[in-house]
Structure 1
Amino acid sequence: MRTPDQPVLRDIVLVGGGHSHVGVLKRFAMNPVPGVRLTLICRDTHTPYSGMLPGYVAGHYSYDDVHIDLSRLAEYAGARFYRDEVVGLDRDLKRVKCRNRPDVPYDLLSINIGSSPRVNEVEGASEFAVPVKPINGFNARWLALLSRMENHEGPLTVGVVGAGAGGVELTLAMQFRLQNELKQRGKDPSQLHFHLFDSADEILPTHNPKVRSVFSRTLAERGVKLHLGSPVQQVRNGQLVTESGDILQTDEVLWVTRAGGPEWLKDTGLALDDGLFIRVRDTLQTETDDSVFAAGDIANVVNHPREKAGVFAVRQGPPLADNLKRMSLGKAPKDFKPQKTWLALISTGDKYAVASKGDREFDGAWVWRWKDWIDRRFMAKFSDLPPMEEDTKLPDTGAAQSAEEASQAISAVAMRCGGCGAKVGSTVLSRALGELKPIERDDIIIGLHAPDDAAVLTVPPGKAVVHTVDFFRAFIDDPYVFGRIAANHSLGDVFAMGAEAQSATAVATVPYGIESKVEDVVFQMMSGAIEVLNEAGCALVGGHTGEGKELALGFAVNGLIDPEDVMSKGGLRAGDVLILTKPIGTGTLFAAHARLAAKGRWIDSALSSMVQSNKTAAECLRRYGSKACTDVTGFGLLGHLVEMTRPSGVDAELDLSAIPILPGAEETAAAGILSSLQPANIRLRRGIRDQEKWVNHPRYPLIFDPQTAGGLLASVAADRAESCVQELKALGYPHTAIIGRVTAQDMEGAIEPISLKD
């Protein structure tokens, strides 16, 4: 996570990871504006390049070949990446509404979310047809169709609705791939039937007659049946019905027509056209609001109407970035004029392509090779990222919109008061925390609901108090997600001992900055934390928030437990088996993320694991009689296991092949990318018998990998272990595994208590 030295003065929020916005991110990365921060909000971590998507469907490219990794690109650009879906906009308060997180404030906003087929306009289409956009939904169905082909017998009929360039190209790509799949399995490819529908009287209506002629001939040669001049009126389960009354029996229906904007745009007050596309001026600013921009398919540049094609979204990236920069510095934006004619390269599925520009056409295998070269060169811009110099510029207070903001910015980089732990101002804190609703408990006498110098709690008769503390700096650029993980991590020790979480006191540091930006960071971070605490039944009773170089958060947590039911590290018994409830690998993955060496989907998997609570898992382990449990955190799997064997007076055997590993962790560890805590943890290798035999094993480095919000490591009686694992998986811990066994100690006080096997 890259932390800028200068305070944030202006927030530019990018909604959507389309072709224009990836260009904006790259342009800001190469020439950042001090004091200006970018935030990308996108549901998908990997965004497809539309020009290569048919090649991916046809089998010419891999998934990674045709997708831009937004997580990696945002990290490179120093932008925050929020993995969420936008569902609304409050222009009065300048806030973006998201589906699963608090609203995100902006100073300037840009929307580049593409378009989606409006399947709701045709009866049954939303239920029985597969819209090609958004691509992630289509990709899942496409992969499922490929999987079904393995066992499919008899004819297979696919209907594609929409005979523009996208529909024709996709039809030929799917046909090519599916026929190849059938041939490879020794099946008859003639059993595959494609039908292409459109209400227009001709295919590719926006292209010249020469292009249409080539594709008409190609479709005929490939046996694709055209249904033109009669719109699809209804989609049923297994049927397509046209307005003229024709009925086609289908196994799959894909929808590649009638694109439009999402419904939530209607409530924004922005000027829209009939297709719910945002009307924008030549500057790419919306007609309605100077602080809101739009680009790509979702934008209708009213003075320069063009068809929805990726080439325009790509070309809009640089002028959009430049105008966002100019506006953030108080300068006037400049007009953008798209080209009048453009080159379209349309493939036929079999490494053959047709070029179309104005009234010109040419085709051949060489055109596909040319297209392939252009596409790969474009993708390289966002995958081959050159190293960046550290940005040490002071803030440009020209980005400040008032004298007060400029003063706060200068103060933020000047010497700060260190008294009282450099506390954040009470007004900022009260505003940030005012909207949060921590739960209340009857055993909290004085807490946040009646703040005082300290919290006062009661302990029920027969209960003992469990007390723990954790604190660490942010390793991810999303304060809301970081808040969730920090709270989850801090609760882990309480759950591992079998206790009920009662209360938590927070300690946080936030980077220096102007009040409005500091306030939002505190609000986002504590929103995430309080959600987790509330879910755990744990009351936030107080805390301390100070200014610092980096964002950091921790909690002191109190828990309650029956002294007879404590699960401790010293409860291992010979003959028990060892169970791990979550995969390991967060240390190496986030070290790789900081070096732009981790795929975004690897980080997504790690975050999903880290935000999952151990509460339910701990309760399950108690039901199965576990007396020894710990959460796997900073000392790594081996370090925590050694901590358990020594007080228990036992040895243990670990099965390296059985340990669940997060996606990508073996790859990053093999590349030598390890956490900064790894060297300290490796000192525990002396606890491994015959450790020199295992140093070259691909999983050997991972047993030392420090974890954040890791899973539970526990022992369970051997005869109950399988049932316990199955229940844990049913409870939502799908990677739970038996990873070893507890053995009798070979000799008292042995310094090598751990044996490894593969």
Structure 2
Amino acid sequence: MPSPANQDLILVGGGHSHCLVLRMLAMQPIPGVRITLVSPEPRSPYSGMLPGLIAGHYSLQQTHVDLYRLCLATGARFVQAAVTHIDNKHRQLQLSDGSLLGYDWLSLDVGATPDLSPLGTDLPEQVVAVKPVSSFYARWTQWINDNQGTLLAVVGGGAGGTEMVLAIAEYYRQHRKMIQLSLISGSTLLPGYPPGVRRKMQARLQQYGIDVLENTVVENQNGNLMANGQPLDRHKILWCTGVRGIPLFEQCELACDERGFVRVNQTLQSLSDTRVFAAGDCAAFPQPLPKAGVYAVRQAKTLAHNLRASIQGQPLKPYRPQRRFLSLLSAGGKDAVASRGGGTPSLAGPMIWRWKDRIDQTFMRKFDTELPPMPTATANPDALHCAGCGAKVGSESLGNALSTLQPHINPGIEAGVDAADDAAVIQWPADHKLVQSLDFFPAFIDEPYRFGRIAALHSLSDLYAMNATPHSALANITLSWNHPRLQGRDMTRLMAGAMYELNQAKCTLVGGHTIEGPQMAAGFTVNGSASPDTLWHKKGARPGDVIILTKPVGSGVQLAAMMHGKKLRGHWLASTLDILLQSNRPAQQAMSRNTVHACTDITGFGLLGHLYEICSQSQVSMAIDIPSVPLLPGTLELIQEGVTSTLSEANRQILMQCQYDDAINDEVLTALCDPQTSGGLVFCIPAAQQDGALQQLAINGVNSTVIGKVLVKDEKNAASIFIN
């Protein structure tokens, strides 16, 4: 049995310091501490390789840390959300998804935001801030794809702006496109760098034909950008100068400096709360430091030690920034300029770029091929856990979690979750059918809020597949063995997520049961109401019907990739989770205005398995057009790497009821048999209603696809499904 946790350490931000801290703490875990990383994006950019990414030397994957994979490998939980408020008094975070996340210890590594104050509050639309880096690349890609102009200026003559303008020039050189580039600096070029570095970088700017404007101030005058009083007429202006603290710190009670950065002492602790640490660009040190990634990397070791020492009541170590550091500036092509300062000569050329490339690639391998092995649960011989009613979660933890819930209340509920009765009491209309379903499964992600949402949606899907209106639900929850305080936090987040979806569906939570166990799990018994003449069934499909599918398939493969560790791709998983969080309610509402001969939701038996159920119930056959079946990103790639769900082999038995050409890839057949969680709906409708149905689904925000048609069943042919 795994050792229970009794404290929560939350790392906010996927910056360089936190990525390294996760590795360090995974190699030597802190007993009794559960670590959670919170970040709005599943990938974190490595700033040192951003110029190479823009220039075309690297791919997006090479330059970004996959935070899902990193957390999986280091045993940390990952919450994909932004923090919108820090409540120091109650030690909890408000997240962008509306949920709360409690903590015992907090570390901040969230970078900085561009200081756009010189431009005023009315920001001209042609100005694009390079930071945050994570969102800049998408905007840059859109710019070059849309061919939005050929006049571009980079404002900021420091290292970041100079590297950026040279990288852009190199990209356009490689693609033989025309562009006029300017680099605008409020002072001299590369202030603070040795004269030799400035001369070498100036020479490369001249080689690319980049116009350099030094001692030039850019201002916003009545919505018009001016440079030293002259109009700055550019199609796009990249802002690479000056940063300040992110808006999060403006409203929290942490002590900050005049630019909004969190003040810390020599041990990286907040001056106003010793349980809060900060590192990287978001921290303001007693002796001001440049906002450079080399400091964030060096701070990681001190941060990891001090987090451990603080939690365990041991002495902390001071962070001592390096006086000098190696500076390697990208110079457009596979070329770089090196300097260590202090009067040492600068070096430049392709050899320096190869040196920089080797250093950067070595750093990134720490989070890719050199990730530590996935942690395994260690047995705790002293941990004894009761069974039977002794396994129930403590009443205080349960009560605190339920006290925050505000369930939607439907008519006819005489006793529900707000009452202390032993069971729910519901009045049911005599002229309606009770449609009831139950689903329950272990958590496939360790993020309770998202898991609660998906578990509720998965359960409600059975009602939508029968055209029933959700009415009420009972919860069945298993929480991992942890300290009651942590169990309360998990229960609060899980039920907040579930309640969000139940309330969206106007489904009243009327009660449930909660126990402890080795793994978090959740399920719901859902009750729906339907008029007898409007119910949908699996029987009723007719020859000539078209088959409409409302969600891509492949979630089983994507979730199985988490078990394979290094085969997981965070951006694929993030896309999958977004699909799983799409309710089938809009699809049901759109199709309720059409003639639906048969319907089912795609879950554990996979697409082919559930289509076969319709064939059997309706006594028909089907023809499926493979190119029309939508797949989740990366599904076929993962299957080719040997990733499949544990239920996949059993599901493939359905292929005995199918007829297909030997030329069809086996990976495709595996995807069609892949078990789905919170999958889409399949409708069989008259072909004459196809266009209207697809249009109504689109109006309701549902991406749907016609994947085949219903055929007359040939009693002489053993096949029920023909795959083309």
- Does TM, scored on the shorter chain, surpass 0.5? yes
Per the normalisation by structure 2, the TM-score is 0.97
Residue pairs, 1:271-420, within 5 angstroms: 271-303=255-287, 305-358=288-341, 359-360=343-344, 361-386=346-371, 388=373, 390-393=375-378, 414-420=383-389
Partner Cα distance (1:755, 1:570) in 2: 19
How far apart, CA to CA, are the structure 2 residues paired with 1:727 and 1:671? Answer: 39
Match of 1:402 in 2: none
> Contact 1:598 / 1:664 at 8 angstroms: preserved in 2?
no
Alignment of 1:270 onto 2:254: yes
Structure 2 residue corresponding to 1:212, chosen from 178, 198, 216: 198
Q: Is the alpha carbon distance of 1:236 and 1:135 closer, same or farther for their aligned partners in structure 2, counting shifts above 3 Å?
A: farther
**Number of the residue aligned with 1:163:** 157
What is the identity, as a one-letter code, of the residue corresponding to 2:71?
Answer: A
Residues 392 and 621 of structure 1, relative CA distance in 2, 3 Å threshold: closer
Report the equivalent of 1:398.
none
Counterpart check, 1:535 vs 2:504: yes
Deviation, structure 1 residue 690: 4.6
Contact 2:54 2:171 in 1 (8 A): yes
Structure 1 equivalent of residue 709 of structure 2? 741
Report the equivalent of 1:464.
433
State the secondary structure of the residue aligned to 2:258: coil
Residues 1:195 and 2:182 aligned together:
yes
Tell me, in whole angstroms, the C-alpha distance in 2 between the residues paired with 1:511 and 1:126: 51
Q: Where in structure 2 are the equivalents of 1:715-754 lying within 5 Å?
A: 715-734=684-703, 736-747=704-715, 751-754=718-721
Identity %, equivalent residues = 40
- How much has 1:615 moved relative to structure 2? 0.7
| Aligned match of 1:249 | 233
Residue 682 of structure 1 and its aligned partner are, at CA, apart by: 1.3
Shift of 1:372: 0.7
Relative to 1, partners in 2 of residues 1:100 and 1:690: Cα closer, same or farther, differing over 3 Å?
A: closer
Give TM-score scaled by structure 1 length.
0.92
Q: CA deviation at 1:655?
A: 1.1
Q: Secondary structure at the match of 1:268?
A: coil
- The Cα shift of 1:416 comes to 2.4
> Closer, same or farther in 2 for the Cα pair 1:269/1:593, shift >3 Å?
same
Structure 1 residues without counterparts, runs of 5 or longer: 396-409
Task: Write the letter of the residue equivalent to 1:159.
Answer: A
Return the match for 1:7 from 4, 7, 15: 4
Q: Deviations over 1:49-107 (max 9, x none)?
A: 11110000001111101011001101111111000011121111111221214221111
Q: Deviation of residue 460 (structure 1)? A: 2.0
Deviation above 4 Å: which 4+ runs of structure 1? 389-395
Residue 70 in structure 1 maps to residue 38 in structure 2: no
1:670 and 1:236 mapped to 2: Cα distance? 58
Say which SS state the counterpart of residue 383 (structure 1) adopts.
coil
Task: Check conservation: 1:15, 1:113, Cα contact below 8 A.
Answer: yes
Q: How does 1:421-500 map to 2 (within 5 A)?
A: 422-500=391-469
| Contact 1:120-1:126 within 8 A present in 2 as well | no
| Distance in 2 (alpha carbons) for counterparts of 1:655 and 1:64 | 33
- Matched with 1:562 is 531
* CA–CA separation in structure 2 for the residues paired with 1:738 and 1:391: 44
Shift of 1:235: 7.3
1:605-639 Cα distance to aligned partner (Å, 9 max, x none):
11011111101101212212112111100010011
Matched, 1:179 2:149: no
Contact 2:586–2:702, Cα closer than 8 Å, also in 1: no
The one-letter amino acid of 2:85's match is G
Pairing partner for 2:665 from 686, 691, 696: 696
- Paired residues of 1:570 and 1:648 also in contact (CA < 8 A): yes
* Secondary structure, aligned partner of 1:569: coil
CA deviations 1:565-607 (Å, max 9, x no partner) are 1110012111001110000001011111221212111111110
2:665 and 2:258 mapped to 1: Cα distance?
63
Assess if the C-alpha contact under 8 Å between 2:73 and 2:374 holds in 1.
no
What SS does the corresponding residue of 1:477 show, helix, strand or coil?
Answer: coil
- What does residue 608 of structure 1 align with? 578
Partner of 2:242: 258
Report the CA distance shift for 1:694/1:715 in structure 2 as closer, same or farther (over 3 A): farther
Which residue number in structure 1 is paired with residue 635 of structure 2?
665
- Measured against aligned partners, the alpha-carbon deviations of 1:94-149 in whole angstroms (never above 9, x if no partner) come to 11221214221111111001111122441343644111011232112100111023
Query: Are 1:34 and 1:394, in contact at CA under 8 Å, matched by a contact in 2?
Result: no
2:40·2:82 contact (CA, 8 Å) conserved in 1? Answer: yes
Where 2:359 maps in the other structure, the secondary structure is: helix
Match of residue 401 from structure 1: none
Equivalent residue number for residue 406 of structure 1: none
Q: Report how many residues are paired.
A: 720
The 2-side partners of 1:436 and 1:613 are apart by: 21
> In the alignment, residue 382 of structure 1 is paired with which amino acid?
F
Contact 2:23 2:372 in 1 (8 A): no
Deviation at 1:289, TM superposition (A): 1.4
Matches of 2:440 and 2:591 in 1, distance apart?
26
Whole-Å separation in 2 of the counterparts to 1:499 and 1:333: 60
